[in-house]
Structure 1
Amino acid sequence: METGNVTTPFGRRPMTLGMLANQVMAGEIKSDQSVDKWKLFRALCEAKPLLGIGDRALAVLNALLSFYPKNELAQENGLIVFPSNIQLSLRTHGMAEQTVRRHLAALVEAGLLLRKDSPNGKRYVRRDRAGEVDEAFGFSLAPLLARAEEIEQLAAEVMAERLHVQRLRERITLCRRDIAKLIEAAVEEDIPGDWQGLYREFRDLIEGLPRSPTTAQLELLLDELTGLRTDILNQLEIRVKSTKQRGNADYIERHIQNSNPDSISELEPRFEPKQGAIAEQDNDRGAVTPEKGRGETAHPHGQKTEEEQSRRPGVRNDGGGLKSFPLGLVLQACPEILTYGRDGVISNWRDLMAAAVIVRSMLGVSPSAYEEAANVMGPENAATVMACILERGGHINSAGGYLRGLTRRTEKGEFAIGPMLMALLRANAPAGRKVG
């Protein structure tokens, strides 16, 4: 049966030069040319973005291929299938006939099918006495066979592009991790530098990426992140080299202290009254204990004095302008923190802060995050916030990220502890919990 003859469409459908070109191309198929239809269909599914066809058009093409009796598309087997729209609807899992017709037209438009219409527009086959197909009217699969090599090449391009994007995303993820951890290490080691500015630059790059970025946008982001990581590494390497050259024992000692993430004394050092000191007076806000013979006042709970903290840039001692609340109210709103007190009892602010450090370690909050919160909010308020985070643990995915967010809001004057405590107090009220 000859399939290279030029045919025009039935009815009102116009003839186009594109249809003529497809028919001419189909007439140039070699007699020994063949291809596995399902392998070719998988390549079509890969190459669909470049061919301009959608999923439902591919579903209709899959149904048409199922009506082809052989697995190999070949000229000698005949390349015309002639199912009715009703049969196609059944094999496309109930797709409406009107939708089937629309997608058939799209496949013809994309140059993947040819129409060979009968005189009355019906699809049927005429057989000879031996039962062999003499002439068939329907859809010709010849364009698929003629374009098989092109389709496989397009599929390879799409897969290569997908692999390239996947590798770009992997490298971006590694860069993001490196930058975040290097900045965190620099802050924890108290290395001089504009780490806050570098972190803001890092976040601006990440947040500036669209939800569905192009390959070019991913490549640009990777270049920028790589440059930022190089800058950070250079600063840290300079610091490491200068430290080795100086042999600075104080720096090494501080490094050893910071390497213990579970150290209570690092964040909340206890104040032990020396001989002759006035006994500590406990109340809801703690007490001030002057030491004899030293001419200075110790900070309650063992925190650094204002003079010492003022030497560190960015450290605040005013509690971030936050209003403090009585210890009894805090414990009534956050009774879970009592479990982490000594012998299950929290009788003063020092006990609460010690329990907060234990909770900090248990929830995976980094020492730097908690120390920053204590510097910005004040140590009592930071312990209060940690108790609130423990109480709401089931609703918070990342306790460290949540605490850093509250710290940033406190710096901007956008956070108050009162509403959080009142909400927890109301939530715990029905249980009738009391703090004795």
Structure 2
Amino acid sequence: MTSRPWYAPLTMIGIVALTTLALVAPAELRARQRPTVADFAPPMTPSEAQAIVAAARAAERAQRIEQMQQQSGQDAVPLPAVQNMYFASSGFHISDRTGFLSFWRRNGGDLIFGYPISGEMVEDGRIVQYFERARFEYHPEHLGTDYQVMLSLLGNELTQGYDFPDGQPTQGRIYFPETRQTLGGKFLKFWQKRGGLRIFGYPISEPFEEISPIDGQVRITQYFERARFEYHPEKLPAFYRQMERANGIMLAGLYEVQLTDLGRQAMQRRGHTPQSTGPMPGAPVWSSALFERRIEVNLSTQMLTAFEGEAPVYRAPVATGRDGFNTPVGTFAVYSKLPIQTMTGSAGGESWYVPDIPWVQYVVGGVALHGTYWHDAWGTGVRMSHGCINLNIDDAEWLYRWTDIGTRVDIID
């Protein structure tokens, strides 16, 4: 069942106005919505989809204006010259005075770093800020480069005194002579996909079993210079694990590999007990909906990029429609969402029935973004769908949670 959007309760006047808007506003949708071959049957007519998208976009614009007015309207408090966001879930801000906010947004946000658990502070002569899973450092000597913000080596710091045995080069694992450790399997896939050396550093241990600080269970664990990984196989549902084994492929659940709270541990070890002061005047409360969100799918590179404003905040490999079932090019929008759906269809002399497709988001006709469990060819250049945009399950879930009805989707050659 599709979750009910926040803007659902509209007045009759609003419905009439927004329906009228649908006839004139998203002209790019009308122009591009021609019949397409796709894995799914469209859940509604193009005119119905168009009206829903127009209503959602108008409601989101109104919400964004209201949020900004609440921050600066009544007392005419001007927004700060430097972007500064308040995170209500943790009670602290992230600012771009040092570039911390941009770094957080562009490199994984709360999925990788968690939320801020301190303000900016000076530590060992350097401006730093603590997050649940990391500590950001400001390096003014690298101002304007990719190294203006760097991550502290918290894995090294918190494992001082540990005696990790060396790893041995074996087939299917990458050996790092810098730390004499190896990396393979799902930890390797996560490391490569979520930031690699820059975000996590080199592995400093082999995988081993350790009690989890997340849930107190014994978990397969591996330490890195800047992070600690844990394996949570139950976060990939049993059906998809069965398909993974049956097809000899590697899938990923969004929370199958999790990072633990090294930032919090390091802050406590250093004796810091920062107290929230509440939101600063003019600082908006963090929400991805504060920004114009859009998705770009590049058919040539077989890559998807999610943007908040001009900032790319997520990238994922895709597999799109093969010849004869080509994924349509154009500017579209998410018009319907289902957390799970069975795929049935018949076209071009083929028929198909595929159950339990996760995280389905329709963008034009029966063409949808969705998770895939029968192959792992995303980003390889192998195009194998009937027009849909295939994603790994973790990427499909992240996008499903990030988008709203009306989120723009650009599909380019």
TM-score (ref. length: structure 1): 0.20
Higher helix share: 1
Higher strand share: 2
Structure with the greater alpha carbon radius of gyration? 1
Which of structures 1 and 2 has the larger relative contact order (alpha carbons within 8 angstroms, sep 6+)?
2
TM-score (ref. length: structure 2): 0.21
